[in-house]
Structures are given as C-alpha cells and as structure tokens.
Amino acid sequence: MDKRNYQEEIVTGKLTEFEIVNRIYDDIFKQSKNSQKITTQGQGKILLLLSQENRLREKEIAKELDMSPQSVGEFVNKLQKKNMVEIFRSEKDKRIKLVSITSTGLSALDSIDEDIPNFVKVLSDKDLENLEQIYSKMIDSMYDSINENSSNIINKIHKFFANKYKKEFHGDK
C-alpha cells in the first residue's frame, strides 16, 4: 500500500470516528442543555417564518415552507404546547385560525445553532481556515457525485434534497 492510500484510509477512519463521536456529543450536550432548544427543521422553520411574517394561517405556512398541512398542524401543536406560538381566531372571519409567534418562540430562535462546540473552539485561526477549505472541497465533491448519480428514483430524491441543502448553505451558486 502506498503512502497516499494509507493516508486516505486513515482520514476515512477519522471521519467515521468523528461522525460517531459527534452523535454522542450532540446527545449529551445539545439535548440535555436545553429541552426547549429547537433546530432549523420543521418547528424551527415555522418559527423562522413567523418571526418574519407573523399571524399566518396554517395553510399559508404549509405553502410557504413547502410542507404538508398535516405536518404543519402537528408542528404548530407541539410549538403551542411549548408556549412558542399562540393560535387565535381572525377578527375579520372567526372561522380562520391564525398562528403567531410568542416571546418564548423568539427566544428559542436566538438559541438555534448559536452554540459553538468546545471541540471547534480548541482550533487555531489557521486550523479553522484549513478545515473550512478542506470541508468545502469534500462537500463540493459530494454534491458533484450526487448530481452525477441520479439514475433511479431514490437517487433523484437524494439529488433533490442535496440541491435544496446546497442552495440553503451556498445560495444560488
């Protein structure tokens, strides 16, 4: 085995180890830290939308976030139980229920991805710069591979989500 292959195997092993340890780290530190903490997934997306356009119908939330009305209903109910949103009737039409973000919901938004893990804080400025460049190269290569491999329906679905995340993290590059 040449030196290059050996280094690639070592790095692959370290990435696998990092993924496993990172899951454990997240379970211990992120979830135990704050039971009200939310992510940028379903509930977080709804809070983000409501922080920009408050007092929306569930139907409008579903359309804006490209989610099913059932999912939005479930997420809104969970957020209401956590006192992060309020549901009230429209003054113009009492049949219409509107969803509004609360101060608790706004506070929860401030906590999304705000914490920088200790294992990142130990890196020097140069280490952070190098790591960012390395991850960027690897991620770009992964996006390229995903886009090239969309022959069956499952791969097409993966391609759809990969492109959605690429836009989310990198804009319209």
**Can you give the length of the chain in residues?**
173
pLDDT band, very low/low/confident/very high, at 45 (cuts 50, 70, 90): confident
CB under 8 Å to 164, separation ≥6 — which residues? none
> Do both 65 and 98 map to the same domain?
yes
Range of the domain at 135: 123-173
Residue 7 lies in a domain: no
The answer to the question of residue 77 being in a domain is: yes
Same domain, 64 and 101: yes
| Tally of domains in the chain | 2
CATH number at 63 reads 1.10.10.10
Helix orientation angle between 42-52 and 103-111, rounded to the nearest 10 degrees: 120
Classify residue 28: in a domain, yes or no. Answer: no
What lies within 8 Å, CB to CB, of 1 at 6+ separation is: 9
Whether residue 148 is contained in a domain is answered as yes
The pLDDT score that the predictor gives to residue 98 is: 95
Res 171 pLDDT > 80: no
Percent of the chain with pLDDT strictly greater than 70 = 87
Mean of all residue pLDDT scores within the chain: 83
> Is the domain of 46 the same as that of 106?
yes
Residue labelled with tokens 């990172």: 22
- φ, ψ of residue 86 in degrees (nearest 5): -120, 145
- The pLDDT score that the predictor gives to residue 101 is 95
The answer to whether 65 and 45 are in contact (CB under 8 A) is yes
- Of 89, 111, 133, which residue sits at a domain end? 111
102 and 130 co-located in one domain: no
**Would 1 be classed as within a structural domain?**
no
Q: Is residue 173 part of a domain?
A: yes
Read off φ and ψ for residue 123, nearest 5 degrees. Answer: -80, 145
Q: How confident is the model over 40-44, as a mean pLDDT?
A: 74
Helices and strands (H, E) in the chain, number of each type: 9, 2
Instruction: Note the pTM of the prediction, 2 decimals.
Output: 0.50
Per-residue pLDDT reduced to its tens digit, 98-118: 999 999 998 887 766 556 777
Establish if 73 belongs to a structural domain: yes
pLDDT at 23: 79
Residue 26 lies inside a defined structural domain of this protein: no
Looking at the fold, whether 88 and 131 belong to one and the same domain comes out as: no
**Angle value at C-alpha 160, between 147 and 108, nearest 5 degrees:** 125
Higher pLDDT, 1 or 132: 132
